[in-house]
Chains A and B, each alone.
Chain A
Amino acid sequence: MMTEIQEAKKMSTKIKEKHEVLLSIRDLHVWYELRRFGFGLAGHVKAVDGVSFELEAGETVAVVGESGCGKSTLMKTILGINIPTAGELIFEGKNLAKLTSNELQKYRFEIGYVQQDPYAALPPFMSIQQILEEPLLISGVKDKDERLERIHKIMSEVKLHPVDDFIHKFPHMLSGGQQQRVVIARAMILEPNLIVADEPVSMLDASVRVEILKLLRALQEKHKLTVIYITHDLSTVKYFSARIFVMYAGNLVEKSETRRLLENPLHPYTMALLAATSDPDAANAETFKDIPPGEPPSLVNPPKGCRFHPRCAKMIQGVCDEKEPIEFEPEPNHFVACWLYQP
């Protein structure tokens, strides 16, 4: 059994080597300093605490987890906005920590960022043209005609057409869905390889959500983009991402191909997320859901051992509450940080 898995593992790393690794993250920690007035440093918010993964060029992956688990912190670190406390970030073979400020600036242009809240993301006093022109100016596109041409091109790609109707409008004149199209256009205008979409649809209505997710999907396929899609809505993941990472209290607790995770969730937290996700069905009203009690822990003093153990029905006394789980691979390319899977 063991050798089989090891074989499979070797195979999978071999297969992987053929593809181009775009982003590699190794044991990343991102802590915020917690200062209390008059007391100096009072501790750290361990928002990302030991995260590792690799992303191949053209891959789509979803990061799923509840509020405060560290999703945005992880993304802001990838975007070069947060500095890692420990661990490494390698983008296209370059270690982020070793870049000069010039190189870092260039690096930031290679990643497009789609924020959660379109209303907050767009400056209210700039027209759509000015909003889309800004990144071009900063990145040094000097020719006005070229800038306009690129603005027109990206606007029609995100279906803000007829372009001339929209280009001189201000954000408040657009619907939520149209505003989110502008945010996507701005993220795409420098032709990045990687798009980070942080809850791109959670502020939108059901039907507009589908519209925007389909647009992102079409752009991803057309330009072979690598996309990290952050969400707390498991029901949208399979339409959008081939792989899925489940995040809990600063850790990635499960990593897998999306369909496999939905069919065969391994981590008790993943199982709880799936159980909590409803499909519209009148029968739902007849039964109670079996949901773990409590709330996610403080990231300043997370529980000893497995961070999920105080809420976990399968907790193994003396193990889960003592030792931090390591990552196991019970089936090929399906990783889980939970002691239940210790071979």
Chain B
Amino acid sequence: MSVVKSDELLKIEKLILYFKTTKGVVQAVDGVDFELGTNRAVVILGESGCGKTSLSKALLRILPRNVEEYSGKVTLQGTDVMTLTDEEYRQNVRWVGISLVPQAAMNALNPVIKVGEQVAEPAMLHLGLNKVEALGLVHKMFQHVGVPADFVERYPFELSGGMRQRVAIAMALVTSPNLIVLDEPTSALDLLTQANIMNVLKRIKRELGTSFILITHDIATSSELADEVAIMYAGQIVETGDAKDFFPAPLHPYSQMLMASVPRLRSESDPIFITGQPPSLMNPPSGCRFAARCPFRFEKCNQEPPVFQKGNRKVKCWLHQ
């Protein structure tokens, strides 16, 4: 049984992104499937190196030179965007359909251009606005993200990290895309600033109806925005489901152990750790990729598990056959 969402915005099927290196092929994104509805937020959670940033690059077609394989189907609002040429993709998808706040975006602003002009640029290029119109839009976006209006005249070095991150979010927002991908948007920021940025994202979601893909390894903070959760392990999505089902009772053994490793302020639970390390993405094991670390593994786990559907949830583990 497959659940068809009437308001489907994005559907990803068998997305693959492999890199060529001198030592072998890195299978960074290895057959990722998921769907996202309008005005919904999904968080993609996983440990360092599991392929989160590569997934965002595959989605936004920001590819390095050493690509070995790039394939799959990505449907955005009914259009199969993988069949578009690079030029068509740039014209019709990037910025106006999906925009990206890259990892460490706040340090990637151009140091010699005023932040107002930097945010105006995508609006001029992709919406065909003149400078005055674009700057008018920038003022509106700054209001949404909580940057004082007079900051348009400032240079990046004159802003704090938190303010620069808000500017980076405003830039992703200025072309009014339906979907924004955020790669670790708060991990370099202070606690209070993180909480303020999460408030900003929630407000944008309510006021503008935007959808979000939030990529992070910060499980607690991710719950501030998540409608849905996708757990990534060694290049693959091993579990997806609604946040309200996932957080209290994750299904996949990896998800369960990951959740149990989170120290909690408001409970006495003793956090645990997962022994061992994730497998190499150059030579991933042929069966379940988590098997070597899994306390529940049995003979079946030597074969790759398919994705099993459990109500609204999906899980790639033989225990749920």
In this assembly, does B47 line the interface, its C-beta being within 8 Å of a C-beta of chain A? yes
Task: Given A205-B47, A288-B203, verify A279-B196 contact (CB < 8 Å).
Answer: no
What are 11 A-B residue pairs whose CB atoms fall within 8 Å in the complex? A206-B262, A210-B263, A235-B265, A239-B263, A278-B195, A280-B220, A280-B223, A280-B259, A282-B243, A288-B203, A289-B195
In this assembly, does B151 line the interface, its C-beta being within 8 Å of a C-beta of chain A? no
Docked-complex contact A288 and B226, CB < 8 angstroms:
no
In this assembly, does B247 line the interface, its C-beta being within 8 Å of a C-beta of chain A? yes
Docked-complex contact A232 and B271, CB < 8 angstroms:
no
In this assembly, does A300 line the interface, its C-beta being within 8 Å of a C-beta of chain B? no
| Interface stretch of the complex, out of B60-68, B132-140, B186-194 | B186-194
In angstroms, Cα B162 to Cα A291, docked, is 14
Residues on A with C-beta less than 8 A from B246 are 282
A281 to nearest B CB, angstroms? Answer: 6
Over the window 265-277 of chain B, the binary record of Cβ atoms lying under 8 Å from chain A Cβ atoms (1 yes, 0 no) is 1110011111001
B254 to nearest A CB, angstroms? Answer: 10
Docked-complex contact B48 and A176, CB < 8 angstroms:
yes
Docked-complex contact A232 and B263, CB < 8 angstroms:
no
In this assembly, does A13 line the interface, its C-beta being within 8 Å of a C-beta of chain B? no
Docked-complex contact B265 and A288, CB < 8 angstroms:
no
In this assembly, does B227 line the interface, its C-beta being within 8 Å of a C-beta of chain A? yes
Over the window 280-297 of chain A, the binary record of Cβ atoms lying under 8 Å from chain B Cβ atoms (1 yes, 0 no) is 111011001101110110
**Closest B residue by C-beta to A286:** B202
| A239-B270, A273-B191 given; 7 more Cβ-contact pairs under 8 Å | A66-B192, A207-B258, A208-B273, A209-B261, A209-B273, A210-B263, A278-B195
Docked-complex contact A292 and B223, CB < 8 angstroms:
no
Docked-complex contact A292 and B192, CB < 8 angstroms:
yes
Q: Which of B94-140 contact A (CB under 8 A)?
A: none
In angstroms, Cα B194 to Cα A291, docked, is 10
Residues on A with C-beta less than 8 A from B223 are 278-282, 284-285
Residues on B with C-beta less than 8 A from A210 are 261, 263, 271-273
Residues on B with C-beta less than 8 A from A280 are 219-220, 222-223, 247, 259, 262, 264
Docked-complex contact B199 and A291, CB < 8 angstroms:
yes
In this assembly, does A272 line the interface, its C-beta being within 8 Å of a C-beta of chain B? yes
B159 to nearest A CB, angstroms? Answer: 10
In this assembly, does B154 line the interface, its C-beta being within 8 Å of a C-beta of chain A? no
Docked-complex contact B199 and A288, CB < 8 angstroms:
yes
Q: Which of B18-46 contact A (CB under 8 A)?
A: 41
In angstroms, Cα B191 to Cα A278, docked, is 10
Task: Given A280-B219, A285-B226, verify A274-B195 contact (CB < 8 Å).
Answer: no
Interface centre among B162, B191, B195 (most CB of A within 10 A): B191
In angstroms, Cα B277 to Cα A205, docked, is 11
Q: Residues on A close to B: CB < 8 A?
A: 66-67, 175-176, 205-211, 214, 232-236, 238-239, 262, 272-282, 284-285, 288-289, 291-293, 295-296
Q: Residues on B close to A: CB < 8 A?
A: 41, 47-48, 160, 162-163, 190-196, 198-199, 202-203, 217, 219-227, 242-244, 246-248, 257-259, 261-267, 270-274, 277
Task: Given A282-B223, A285-B224, verify A236-B263 contact (CB < 8 Å).
Answer: yes
Task: Given A284-B223, A285-B224, A295-B162, verify A279-B195 contact (CB < 8 Å).
Answer: no
Residues on A with C-beta less than 8 A from B262 are 206, 235, 279-280
Docked-complex contact A206 and B47, CB < 8 angstroms:
yes
Interface centre among B41, B196, B202, B265 (most CB of A within 10 A): B265
Residue of B191, B247, B272, B273 touching A277 (CB-CB under 8 A): B191
A212 to nearest B CB, angstroms? Answer: 9
Docked-complex contact A234 and B244, CB < 8 angstroms:
no
A215 to nearest B CB, angstroms? Answer: 10
B247 to nearest A CB, angstroms? Answer: 5
A63 to nearest B CB, angstroms? Answer: 14
A260 to nearest B CB, angstroms? Answer: 14
Task: Given A234-B265, A277-B265, verify A214-B227 contact (CB < 8 Å).
Answer: no
Residues on B with C-beta less than 8 A from A239 are 263, 270-271
Task: Given A207-B258, A285-B223, verify A291-B272 contact (CB < 8 Å).
Answer: no
**Closest B residue by C-beta to A294:** B192
Residues on A with C-beta less than 8 A from B195 are 275-276, 278, 289, 291
Residues on A with C-beta less than 8 A from B160 are 295
**Closest B residue by C-beta to A202:** B187
Residues on A with C-beta less than 8 A from B47 are 205-207
- 6 smallest CB-CB distances across A and B, nearest first, come from A276-B195, A211-B273, A282-B243, A282-B244, A66-B190, A210-B273
Docked-complex contact B219 and A206, CB < 8 angstroms:
yes
Docked-complex contact B261 and A206, CB < 8 angstroms:
yes
Residues on A with C-beta less than 8 A from B263 are 209-210, 233, 235-236, 239
In angstroms, Cα B195 to Cα A272, docked, is 10
Docked-complex contact B196 and A291, CB < 8 angstroms:
yes
Residues on B with C-beta less than 8 A from A275 are 195
A15 to nearest B CB, angstroms? Answer: 27
Residues on A with C-beta less than 8 A from B194 are 276
Residues on B with C-beta less than 8 A from A279 are 220, 223, 262, 264-267
In angstroms, Cα B259 to Cα A62, docked, is 24
